[in-house]
Amino acid sequence: MNHKFIVSWRSLILSLLAIALPGTVSAQTNYYWQTIATSVTASGGPQGVGVDPVGDLFIANTSDNTILKATPVGTNWIITTIAGGAQGPLDGTNNGAQFYGPFSLAVQDSSTLYVADSVNNAIREVQLIGTNWVVTTIAGICAPGGSGFRDGTNQYAQFSGPNGITLDRQGNLYVADTYNHVIREIRPSGTNWITTTIVGAGSPSSGPGPIDGTNQNAQFDAPYDVTADAEGKLFVADYGDNAVCEVVPMGTNWVMTTISGGSGQGLGSFSDGTNLDAQFAGPTSIAVDGLDNVYVADLYNNAIRKISPAGGTNWLTTTIGGASTGGGSASNGGLVDGTNAVAEFNGPNGVAVDLSGNIYIGDTGNNALRVGYLFPPSLNLVLAGNQATVSYPASLGTNFGFVVQATTNIGNPVWVTATNRWLLTTNSIPFNVFTVTNKVPSRYFRLQMP
């Protein structure tokens, strides 16, 4: 059987999907934001978030000193504590391990993640062994009084309030060492981990914004988070400078360039625009997708921002979630689902993007987890042997009536709704999943509003 899919389905049915949505702009990408869990933590709210290849979320619960896992089950998300619970620096298993202010995490796969344990000034590995989660300190002294600035191996290295962490495809970790104002690389070497400072001067930037440059000639002011793309480039959320920077490896050097924002100290402001014309107010978390689109949790603007390559050396910043007039407080947002500016957030502190381009937010002030789906959504299409799997976000079918349709003749199509013709294996959030076997002829698929 030769299944055929309309990958660029928008070009064929965009006129049928171009409905009026409050607060949207036709020239920009639209996202539909939905709350997937509330009352996520016992106190405070979720901070850093990460997503594994199968769609489970992991959460750094700063206020409760725990690491959580959120798993979709039917229309619900089941949240469990996998490690931590007591404040302290101890390695151990499950709730026998201790954290102190874990702020963000990097997910390697469904069984291994790395945590920036901020107040303990350490980087911790959390690994699933059998049915248990085992926590091990791999870099830093792991103690509230262990802050410092020193490169080295394993616990010989020192950090000062590491808030952000990411993982590249080679297994190297990168850490936003916030109060040392640098980015560190932690490279595995056998059973050891070697920490090296790759960019930043070790002191706050001396300008009104970041100081571009190579290696230690570059300057940040309290970088809060870092993310790596598929090619090994890094993107940094420079909280104190209200900026986003790109850090590119060039031979043995790292070259830092400010790509968006840079209004300097204070609460900052709010403005979309190109390169330095854009403005932020406390960017705290950052993620990047496979097309080098960068997503930022803009804390004091209660907004989610997207920074996209715009030709040459230009980067275009747009707001894809929330609305702000700038310089606001992280406590004055709301909890409202909807598209783009219709949605409201309250002090978002975590952002992650999955392989399908869905964006997950740790909405700290609302103690909630949120997800943003592309709108109109894309079909997720997977072939395996004689079986094809077609899926799309189920919540968009619930809220907007999207359905999957198919035809066997694209030249003279007669579109048939999926549920009438083949097996619906899952009909619940987060995805509607349709399975097509070799008992049917070749088909073209599209996503349609009835």
Per-residue pLDDT of the chain in tens (450 residues, 90 and over written 9): 344 444 322 222 322 232 223 333 334 689 999 999 999 999 889 999 999 998 999 999 999 999 999 998 877 899 999 999 999 999 999 999 999 999 999 999 999 999 999 999 999 999 999 999 999 999 999 999 899 999 999 999 999 999 999 999 999 999 999 999 999 999 999 999 999 999 999 998 887 889 999 999 999 999 999 999 999 999 999 999 999 999 999 999 999 999 999 977 666 799 999 999 999 999 999 999 999 999 999 999 999 999 999 988 999 999 999 987 666 677 778 999 999 999 999 999 999 999 888 999 999 999 999 999 998 888 888 887 777 888 888 888 888 888 888 888 888 889 888 876 777 887 777 788 888 876 566 778 888 887
pLDDT reported for residue 26: 34
430 cis-preceded (ω within 30 degrees of 0): yes
Closest CA to 241 of 289, 190, 269, 205: 205
Q: How many CA atoms lie within 13 A of 246 on its CB side?
A: 23
pLDDT reported for residue 85: 94
Interatomic CA distance for residues 45 and 61, integer angstroms: 7
- Say what the pTM is: 0.91
Interatomic CA distance for residues 121 and 185, integer angstroms: 15
Closest CA to 285 of 337, 361, 229: 361
* Integer Rg of the chain from CA: 22
Give, in order, the Cα–Cα distances in Å from 152 to each of 15, 155, 224. Answer: 58, 8, 22
